[in-house]
Amino acid sequence: MDRTELELHLISIRRHLHQNPELSNEEFETTKSIKKWLQDKEIEIRNTGLPTGVVAEIKGANPGPIVAIRADIDALPIVEQTGLPYASKVKGKMHACGHDFHTAAAIGAAYLLNETQAELNGTVRIIFQPAEESGGGAQKVIHDGQLEGVEAIIGLHNKPDLPVGTVGLKDGPLMAAVDRFHIVLYGKGSHAAIPQHGKDPIVAAGHLITALQSVVSRNVSPLQSAVLSVTKIVGGSTWNVIPDNIILEGTIRTFDNKVRADVKTKFYAIVESIATAFSHEVEIGWFPGPPPLDNHKSVTEITRYAAKKNALKIIDPEPSMAGEDFSYYLYDVPGTFAFFGTNGNEEWHHPGFTLDESAIIKAAYFLFESSRELLNRPVSSLRI
């Protein structure tokens, strides 16, 4: 299959996936389709205990390490508003984060590796991971043993604000740790005209929201990065009644594990002190998500070399406060995660999200060359 033929095939794969999105842990038809596309080229599928997702392997003719490529396969609960001829056929579901792009690019890399199997010095394991959006997919893959024996891992994410042909490669922190909180302030309801007979949780919530802003502004060094956002407030039923309780939800994003722990400690202290000051009971729910995504220096350098071979423009990308569960893999093996330019019109998770499909073939070759370069390097060098 020549480059032009491969490109057209990968675009058709991406469009099929785009028209048939499935949410986290529901990717049953997506799984079947990926297996078929791989089996059409007689690519080996590994046995897994995963209900959804696929793990494939291309074993080289020569001995060597195992390196992995990871692509995510799930979609989002978003109503598509692109007007594309291949827009989602499933109401309320959309590939609004470009995981269809990632999957198509990884399939392309698998095809290229399969065609050069006789030249490979080792094995490339390709992980088509479910449930990245729900934040549990990577851990399921790891617990299923699919990272066993892997010496290095690479992945990428489309980046709408970068032009096609550009790749962002950075060692160190690239994406943030994600924590979610849920707070319930229990006061005492009363008539709005006689507030002295109640304990107003709305006033307490107002003070709490203001106080929480000091968690970052006065407890995190200006040389560090962190964000705390209260994104949801629920309470009250009418204009003249003070409610019994108020619910607040939000998220905290950090790039450093110590900062992450310190911010959590301060967060709890502020919430509990405000509740005490207003004579309220309080319930705090803390839901930790993926840790910071921290790229490994040696693997990043190797992918930088592969990017140059593919005539890609390499930039030092600005870190993103978004989260990515690829970070769990990096706790087990050295690896790197790249931002790949797609010249999109909207950012991730937007109902009008689109991308330039000419980037798919470039991403496929980038993953192909990066994995081959990793196979050719001494295993010990990857852990430097």
Pair type for strands 44-45 and 54-59: antiparallel
CA 69 – CA 156 distance, rounded (Å): 9
Q: Determine the topology of domain 177-288 in CATH.
A: Alpha-Beta Plaits (3.30.70)
The pLDDT value recorded for residue 39 is: 98
Q: Is 225 exposed, middle or buried (0-12, 13-18, 19+ CB in 10 A)?
A: middle
Q: Which residues pair with 234 in a beta bridge?
A: 247
What pLDDT score was predicted for residue 158?
Answer: 98
Rounded to the nearest 5 degrees, what angle is found at the Cα of 62, between the Cα atoms of 59 and 63?
Answer: 85
Per-domain residue ranges of the chain: 3-174+292-383, 177-288
> What kind of fold does domain 3-174+292-383 have according to CATH?
Aminopeptidase (3.40.630)
User: What single DSSP character describes residue 1?
Assistant: -
* Cβ-Cβ contacts under 8 Å for 8 (sequence gap 6 or more): none
Measured between alpha carbons, how far is 138 from 87 in angstroms, rounded to an integer? Answer: 28
- Written as tens digits, the pLDDT of the chain (384 aa) is 899 999 999 999 999 999 999 999 999 999 999 999 999 999 999 999 999 999 999 999 999 999 999 999 999 999 999 999 999 999 999 999 999 999 999 999 999 999 999 999 999 999 999 999 987 899 999 999 999 999 999 999 999 999 999 999 999 999 999 999 999 999 999 999 999 999 999 999 999 999 999 999 988 888 788 999 999 999 999 999 999 999 999 999 999 999 999 999 999 999 999 999 999 999 999 999 999 999 999 999 999 999 999 999 999 999 999 999 999 999 999 999 999 999 999 999 999 999 999 999 999 999 999 999 999 986 666 665
Structure tokens at 191: 């008539």
According to the model, what pLDDT value does residue 222 have?
83
